[in-house]
Structure 1
Amino acid sequence: MPIEVLIPSLAAQIAAGEVVERPVSVVKELIENSLDAHAASIVIDVGKDPCSYIRVVDDGDGISSNEIDLALTHHATSKLHTLDQLDDIRTLGFRGEALPSIASVSKVLIVSRRLGSDSAYSVEYDCGLKINETAYASAIGTSVSVIDLFSNVPVRLKFLRSSTSELTKVKDIVHLFAMAYPSVKFQLRIEGKVTFDTQGSGNPIDPIVAVYGPKSASEMIAVASEQDDNGYAVEGFVSVPALNRANRSYMTLFVNNRLVNSRMLNHAVEESYHGLLPERRYPITVLNLAIPYSEVDVNAHPGKLEVRFQNENRVYSTLQKAIRSHLINQIPVSQVGQTTFTNRASQSFYPYTNYKPHGTTSDSQTTFSVDSAYTFNTHKPNREVLPSLTLIGQVRLTYLVADGPDGVYLIDQHAAHERILFDKVVAARGQRQSVSQTLLSPTTVELSSLHADLLDTNKETLKLYGFDIEQFGDNTYIVRAVPAVMSIADTEKSLRDILDMISVEGLLRQHEDVVAASVACHSSVRAGMPLSLTEMQSLLNQLHDTSNPHTCPHGRPTIIRYADYNLEREFGRRQ
């Protein structure tokens, strides 16, 4: 068959398929246009079958009468003028494709009045062809009506879901925009009946109450991280761990107030809850990540839901740290029978990084060698995250038992010591203290090609923590020194484990924290090891002073509580 240039109408329908996939795509594009026009009020009116009727009305800037036809021309926009602006896109729309794409697969009526104009102007298109234009009486702003969507492309209708399902998607997108823009009044009408309404008060919790209800909204934690030196900041709300859902659809994320779908950002959210949620349960989040416009590429897909980041490491870490730090301030000790923690350390390893240097109690006497290896600025945390506990003893050579004000506490000695050592190693790293122990007999280690590449890439990071490793052959290395806190019983295995963790961690987290967590894991007391009362008390005191005494660096719980209520009920003292 000969090569031919597509006729304009066919090319327009093909292009529309990239932008307008279903009714919710139309609603999304029209709302974004309204927001870019600085609308303070947006009304969305849809039919029971969204394909039959969609209307979006705003009180924004409006379109001049001599520009309405131009607005329905492909690649015509008021938001982008030079190539340089592609690196600094601040508007939600910029491609000049939404209105012409919608008009090519439906009947469209646009009525708009520009601020300063005496009257409005309307144009009507039918599947890409203009059929009417006239002066009109209307308030300042723009109204876009879309009728019989995909009427000229019936094959598209076959691939849509039921009207009820498509309507649900429309509701969801309106809810998301309402939560992202609390200063804008949103109203959704279905068959003329108001089903959703926000006041545009500017209070970010108000639309969350409207979407999820007052009970769920009362269990949300406000997240507000200050802008760092790189211009990164996170703000919004996340649910307490007890408020969770069975799927990720409740995790809402925006980048510079732009709704995005990002597996990397979703993973950052999930990992910030690591060890705090039952398996296959997910939090509710409404978060906006503010980053310099020049560091995010929003021109990755016509639908503008997919974005690319210049520095994924920094984006991931900023989001995960912000959520985790606010969660830690709110989390109570896990109660037996209340929360199920999952151990996913064998599947993946993403340690947490929100740790600040702090000291240990000066009067603690213990045989743990880490105390003599590092020197710290001694001060108490500015909050008490664990209650005062009275040590009782050790059971099964694995768990410490302590009495507390509201029950009996069990502490996993290995997980607790991991947390203590991790914080100390990270603190020492922050204070530029690298303490090594030189091996009396250097260990020769043969590594696989993968491990060798990882070692070469991360050699400087390992050195910062006290490793002294010298290449001896192609994939052979001599280990001359290891971190002072690390056991030297099996140096080769410890090194391989650390490299494995770095491999799994990939680009999602700073390698330094992976090394610190691995060093802590290989240096802490083990389950089955008897401890003296002095050692147990020291462990308990030091755990109390850590940045996060509730979980080890892998996310496993360090401590659980058996409440007084449960004890009394089991002994028949309470019915």
Structure 2
Amino acid sequence: MPIRQLPDILVNQIAAGEVVERPASVVKELVENALDAGALRVDIDLEEGGVRLIRIRDDGSGIPPEELPLAVSRHATSKIGSLDDLEAVATLGFRGEALPSIASVSRFSLASRREDDAHGSVLDVDGGRVGIVAPKPHPRGTTVEVRDLFYNVPARRKFLRAERTELGHIEEWLRALALVRPDVELRVSHNGKPSRRYKGDEDLFSGARLVETLGREFADAALRVEHAAAGLRLHGWIAKPSYSRASADQQYLYVNGRAVRDRSVAHAVKQAFADVMYHGRQPAYVLFLELDPTRVDVNVHPAKHEVRFRDARLIHDFVYRTLHEALADTRAGQAGELAAASPSDAFTASPASPSMPAWSRSMPQPHLALRVDEARAGYAALYGAPPAQAAGHHDAFAPPPMSPPDAAVDDAGALVPPLGYAVAQLHGIYILSQAADGMIVVDMHAAHERIGYEKLKTAHDGEGVRTQPLLVPQTVAVSEREADVAEAESATLAELGFEVTRTGPQSLMLRGVPALLAHGDTEALLRDVLADLREHGESLRVRSARDELLSTMACHGAVRANRRLTLHEMNALLRQMEATERSGQCNHGRPTWAHFPLAEIDRWFLRGR
């Protein structure tokens, strides 16, 4: 077959295969065009899940009549004019492919009017065949009608799903848009009936928009994140670890206002939650990442679902450390939102400080005399230091000099710590505590396990990762790419405890391994670390494996069920929980405490009715 130029209609239909996957793709492209035109209200009318009709009306700036034919021609756009514009693009749409692609596989109509135009204009396109511009009454803004999607491409149409399924995809995309553009009013109708409305004129961090999109349960569990460094800014919400999902259905990432999927950022978030999330569960979050547009390439996917960062390693590290520190601040009994993810914001004071809460000065607690000898002795043996020295102070499990400054005032006007004061032990498992506004129930084993685990991690971090030389160096066969990574990242590997040299195009010599993990499968661990370094620029495998071992040690050292505690011991445990990072969850992600407000307890007994 000879080489020949494809007709324009076929070219547009091929492009439609990349841009227009289903009705939700059409809604996305048209609504993004409306937002780029400055619209503050967008009406979306749908029939049969968008297959029969998609009508998008907006109150944006409008299109001049003479530019309507250009709008439905390939690679015609008002948003970029040079390579510099493309490299720093800030609009949602910019490729000039969406309208001609959609028009080539539907019965298409484009009507618009600018503020100063005497009347509106309309242009019809039927399966890619462009009509003529005609006058038409129209308010300021633009209306796009897409009827009978894929009517002329039956092979594509038969792959569309049921009406309810296609509508669900549209609603999910609109939910994602509503989270990032609370200033825009979105009205949706389906088959002639109003189905959803997102109000406009709201702030990005308004609780109303969060409840509107993801529900009250997510909003109640949401922690604010706000951090900026190195020309990067990350803000938004992460749900507390106790609010987790079976799937990744509540994970929203926006880069410079564009909803995207990025494996590197998703990996960083997953790693940040690894120490507090129950196995097999997924975190929930809405995160906005902002950076210079020239540092991110948004032109790597036809539908603009993905981006490519020029500093992917820096981005991964920034997201991980921001969220890791934010989650570290989720102590048991902590109230309110998390405004900044910085350990420097933590409350510190000496026992003699006048800023110490009155309840802490008036009722000092003795240390919790629980047996943790096995864990501490095991740790000391690994690092050759006496237990007290390895832990960093005289008693690794002694209570801190004070608790966080979240004290509340009870009915008598006395200051009460966040987790209150212990009143009893239930079935040898739970501690019952009276708080300022109700009752606290603590799982004493889970809580003590987290306290011990955090102390062991702190002690190990102070020592650093030690390398244990192998008696017999081990040859490791790898791919050439893995060998390249090992050679280029030799310093990083050394920091992680590996002594590795390249001995050939596809071979490495392993001479030393992390001391704490020397008895595990270090060859497999090395391969995983190399894979992480190749894909994400850094690896947390060694830390993860170390934490798993320390978690086991802390679990063995924690107080067991049916151990009878005195009130002083119970209160000491509560004070340590209030001061320990991540103490809201045990090492396995289970909650360590629960709060029952007095008003809820009153409802149990119908008081006040």
TM-score higher than 0.5 here? yes
Query: Which sections of structure 2, spanning at least 5 residues, go unmatched?
Result: 334-340, 352-365, 370-375, 381-385, 394-399, 407-416, 435-439, 560-564, 598-609
Q: CA deviation at 1:530?
A: 10
What do residues 377-434 of structure 1 show as CA deviations (whole Å, max 9, x unaligned)?
A: x9977557985899x99xxxxx9998866456115877654422323444x4xxxxx7
Residue of structure 2 in register with 1:410 after alignment: 445
What do residues 312-363 of structure 1 show as CA deviations (whole Å, max 9, x unaligned)?
A: 3333343344445445545648xxxxxxxxxxxxxxxxxxx98779999999
Q: CA deviation at 1:79?
A: 0.6
Deviates more, 1:59-68 or 1:555-564: 555-564
CA distance in 1, matches of 2:543, 2:349: 18
CA distance in 2, matches of 1:26, 1:94: 15
CA distance in 2, matches of 1:360, 1:469: 42
CA distance in 2, matches of 1:414, 1:226: 30
In structure 2, the CA distance between the partners of 1:425 and 1:292, relative to structure 1 (3 Å rule), is farther
> Is residue 419 from structure 1 mapped to residue 454 from structure 2 by the alignment?
yes
Deviates more, 1:401-410 or 1:204-213: 401-410
**Residue aligned with 1:449, SS:** strand
Contact 1:119 1:136 in 2 (8 A): yes
Residue of structure 2 in register with 1:286 after alignment: 286
Residue of structure 2 in register with 1:305 after alignment: 305
CA distance in 1, matches of 2:500, 2:540: 22
Residue of structure 2 in register with 1:219 after alignment: 220
Give the alignment partner of residue 207 of structure 1, picking from 194, 206, 209: 209
Q: CA deviation at 1:234?
A: 2.5
Give the alignment partner of residue 588 of structure 2, picking from 552, 556, 559: 556
In structure 2, the CA distance between the partners of 1:125 and 1:310, relative to structure 1 (3 Å rule), is same
**Residue aligned with 2:199, SS:** coil
RMSD: 4.7
Between the two proteins, what is the percent identity of the paired residues? Answer: 27
One-letter amino acid of the counterpart of residue 196, structure 1: R
Residue of structure 1 in register with 2:476 after alignment: 449
One-letter amino acid of the counterpart of residue 306, structure 1: E
**Residue aligned with 1:447, SS:** strand
Deviates more, 1:357-366 or 1:292-301: 357-366
Mapping of residues 52-71 of structure 1, within 5 Å: 52-71=52-71
Contact 2:451 2:583 in 1 (8 A): yes
Contact 2:487 2:501 in 1 (8 A): no
Residue of structure 2 in register with 1:93 after alignment: 93
**Residue aligned with 1:93, SS:** coil
> Is residue 372 from structure 1 mapped to residue 404 from structure 2 by the alignment?
no
CA distance in 2, matches of 1:500, 1:258: 35
Residue of structure 2 in register with 1:475 after alignment: 509
Query: Which sections of structure 1, spanning at least 5 residues, go unmatched?
Result: 334-352, 394-398, 429-433, 566-575
Residue of structure 2 in register with 1:48 after alignment: 48
**Residue aligned with 1:475, SS:** strand
Aligned length: 518
Give the alignment partner of residue 502 of structure 1, picking from 529, 535, 539: 529
What do residues 98-156 of structure 1 show as CA deviations (whole Å, max 9, x unaligned)?
A: 11111111122211112333332221121222234222332221111112222221222
Residue of structure 1 in register with 2:191 after alignment: 191
Mapping of residues 23-422 of structure 1, within 5 Å: 23-204=23-204, 205-213=207-215, 215-216=216-217, 218-235=219-236, 237-274=237-274, 276-330=276-330, 332=332, 369=386, 372=389, 382=404, 387=419, 406-407=440-441, 409-411=444-446, 416-422=451-457
Q: CA deviation at 1:459?
A: 4.9
Q: CA deviation at 1:290?
A: 1.8
CA distance in 1, matches of 2:319, 2:491: 26
In structure 2, the CA distance between the partners of 1:372 and 1:509, relative to structure 1 (3 Å rule), is farther
In structure 2, the CA distance between the partners of 1:375 and 1:548, relative to structure 1 (3 Å rule), is same
Structure 2-normalised TM-score?
A: 0.70
CA distance in 1, matches of 2:15, 2:493: 51
Contact 2:238 2:286 in 1 (8 A): yes
Structure 1-normalised TM-score?
A: 0.74
CA distance in 2, matches of 1:298, 1:174: 20
Contact 2:122 2:135 in 1 (8 A): yes
Residue of structure 1 in register with 2:491 after alignment: 460
